[in-house]
Structure 1
């Protein structure tokens, strides 16, 4: 087999069927999570949610909790506040021999209505707000 044929054959190998697997967790952001003025929540709180999503991803795809190795391209793009409902989403984008690369987004899907006539007022957002995005690498045995 020539090098060109080998390269073509490698390109034609089917993509790992686990690629595209998606895990979604939703959570209400309690007022106990707020650390800053305006009831803001620190960015590390969202990264912890990504860890939970990655754990479920590894269990689903590999039957093991796996270990988080690194984050890349972490971007804090919008606020998360107490009273919000967020969705932590992970999509498996690459599978190596032991490593898995996951793209993450933390979306605000509902927001408390600060300053409303009722303290408990809240609304679902027509368009979710991307609060955090990142790429993470996990390893499995």
Structure 2
């Protein structure tokens, strides 16, 4: 049983970060060139925000809004992406976060159907700011 709201402690601190990495499966490609839709990045932001809220507040929280969503470079099936959330503001019940998707590895079909290469530096594909509310 979880603690009552008045007893639940928060460890939310500005600067706190959560990072996930994942492979983008070909089953998520929707467009020519094996492009993945922008909603894929937004769903990944939801996953890192959920972990952030669990770590900071012991609750999954609920997304309230996104702002300044920028699709800067394509995400393709076969990519390995790194998704990060950084806590930038802590309110009484709200948590504001900056999000970023970086492509850290990409398929390299010129060298074979299963070839891939690390990107140095990684390519920033999507950025956003979001607000999550916790009880």
Q: 1:1-141, aligned counterparts within 5 Å?
A: 18-114=13-109, 116-141=110-135
Runs of 5+ unmatched residues, structure 1:
1-15
1:64-92 C-alpha deviation (Å, 9 max, x unpaired)? 00000000000000000011000010000
Which has the larger share of strand? 2
Q: 1 CA distance for matches of 2:133 and 2:111?
A: 49
Q: 2 CA distance for matches of 1:82 and 1:64?
A: 32
Query: What's the C-alpha RMSD, in Å, of the aligned pairs?
Result: 1.1
Residue 117 of structure 1, CA deviation: 3.6
Tell me which structure has the larger Cα radius of gyration.
Answer: 1
Does the C-alpha gap of structure 1 residues 49 and 17 become closer, same or farther in structure 2, counting only changes over 3 Å? Answer: closer
1:12-38 C-alpha deviation (Å, 9 max, x unpaired)? xxxx86111100010001100100000
Q: 1 CA distance for matches of 2:20 and 2:90?
A: 22
TM-score by length of 2: 0.90
Runs of 5+ unmatched residues, structure 2:
1-10
Q: 2 CA distance for matches of 1:30 and 1:68?
A: 25
Q: 1 CA distance for matches of 2:97 and 2:117?
A: 30
Alignment partner of 1:51: what SS? helix
1:97-121 C-alpha deviation (Å, 9 max, x unpaired)? 100000000000000013x241000
Whether contact under 8 Å (2:87, 2:95) holds in the other structure is yes
> Segments of 4+ in structure 1 off by > 3 A?
none
Whether contact under 8 Å (2:12, 2:90) holds in the other structure is no
Q: How many residues align?
A: 125
